[in-house]
Structure 1
Amino acid sequence: MARLTTLLMVLAALLLSSCGFHLRGDLPLSHFPAIYVQSERHSELAALVKARFSYNKVTLLDSYQQDAPVLELVKDSLERRTLSLFPNGQVAEYELIYKVQYRLTMPNADTQPYQFELYRDYQDDPNQALAKAKELELLLGELRQQAANRILRQLSRLQ
């Protein structure tokens, strides 16, 4: 009975590995053994990207090296667009637009610019200002995490 269980476990592991299954967040970044991440000094997005690189066993360089790729986080910004108003004219709902621009420079290659936008709806309530400010902060944190994941996914697709 123990042999059958062991055989089934090995078979299941082989099937999962042969179909390309990876744990969430575990990306094939073998073509990036080391990378230098350049950004603003206290960028929260840069901290998340660096954490994702570390999780995926990519060495983070402390300074620019000519033979290593450079990921430059150029700009990340949050914009709000009004979606709806209350009858008294106050804003009831916003659309949050998180824009990210970055560049990737591979050794002996041209710099490639990338950009994308992430969207979220946000309902405002002037009577709950403190709670809504906290909710906005949480939404921005989620958008940054989603952006960091997207950057790494895009990099994992490069050859």
Structure 2
Amino acid sequence: MLRASVWLALLSSLLLSSCGFHLRGDLPLSHFPAMYIQSERHSELAALVAARLKHNKVQLLDSYQQTTPMLQLIDDSLERRNLTLFPNGQVAEYELIYKVRYALTMPDGEPQQYQFELFRDYQDDPNRALAKAKELDLMLGELRQQAANRILRQLARLH
């Protein structure tokens, strides 16, 4: 019985690895052994991207070298657009738009610019301003994590 379960585990791991399965967050970034990230000084998005690159075994450099790729996080911003109003005219629901612009410069190459937007709906309640401010902070953190994941998926597609 023990032998059968060992064979079953071995067979299932073989099947999963042969179909290209990767654990969430593990991306094939072997074509980027080292990279330099340029961003604003205390950028939360840059910190998330750096952590994910380290998790995927990419060495982060302290200074730019022309023989390694450079990821430049140009801009990330949050905009709000009114969706619905309460009968008294106050905003009841917003659409949050998180915009990210970045560039990737390969050795001896021109910078390739990329940009994308992420969207979320956010319901506002003036009677619960403190709770809604905390919820907005949590949503912004989730949007940044989504953006960092999207940047890494884009890097994994480049060869």
Following superposition of structure 1 onto structure 2, how do residues 17-96 of structure 1 map, counting pairs within 5 Å? 17-96=17-96
Is 2:122 the counterpart of 1:114? no
- Deviation at residue 4 of structure 1 after TM alignment: 1.9
AA in 2 matched with 1:147:
A
CA distance in 1, matches of 2:6, 2:127: 60
Name the SS for the 2:116 alignment partner. strand
Distance apart, 1:2 and its partner CA: 2.5
TM-score (norm 2): 0.98
Q: After superposition, what is the alpha-carbon deviation per residue over 1:41-93, rounded to whole angstroms, capped at 9, x for unaligned?
A: 00000000000001101000010011000000000000000000000000000
Letter in 2 for 1:66: Q
SS in 2 for 1:73: strand
Q: Distance in 2 between the 1:60 and 1:69 partners?
A: 10
Letter in 1 for 2:148: A
Who is 2:9 aligned against? 9
- Higher mean C-alpha displacement, 4-13 vs 22-31: 4-13
Shift of 1:3: 2.2
How many angstroms does 1:10 deviate by? 1.1
Q: Could you give the per-residue CA deviations for residues 27-46 of structure 1, whole angstroms, max 9, x where no partner exists?
A: 00011000000000000000
- How large is the RMSD of aligned CA atoms in angstroms? 0.6
One-letter amino acid of the structure 1 residue matched with residue 37 of structure 2:
V
Following superposition, the deviation at residue 152 of structure 1 comes to 0.2
Q: Give deviations 1:4-25, integer Å, cap 9, x for gaps.
A: 2221111111101001110000
Structure 2 residue identity aligned to 1:41: R
d(CA) in 2 for partners of 1:8, 1:134: 47
Q: Which whole-Å deviations, capped at 9, do the CAs of 1:92-127 have from their partners, x for residues lacking one?
A: 000000000000000011110000000000000111
Gaps of 5+ in 2: none
Counterpart Cα distance in 2 of 1:29 and 1:21: 15
Distance 1:5 1:82 in 2: 57
**Equivalent residue for 1:101?**
101
Find the residue that maps to 2:154 and give its secondary structure.
helix
* Secondary structure in 2 matching 1:21: coil
Identity level (%)? 77
Q: Take 2:80 and 2:29, find their aligned partners in 1: how far apart are those partners?
A: 34
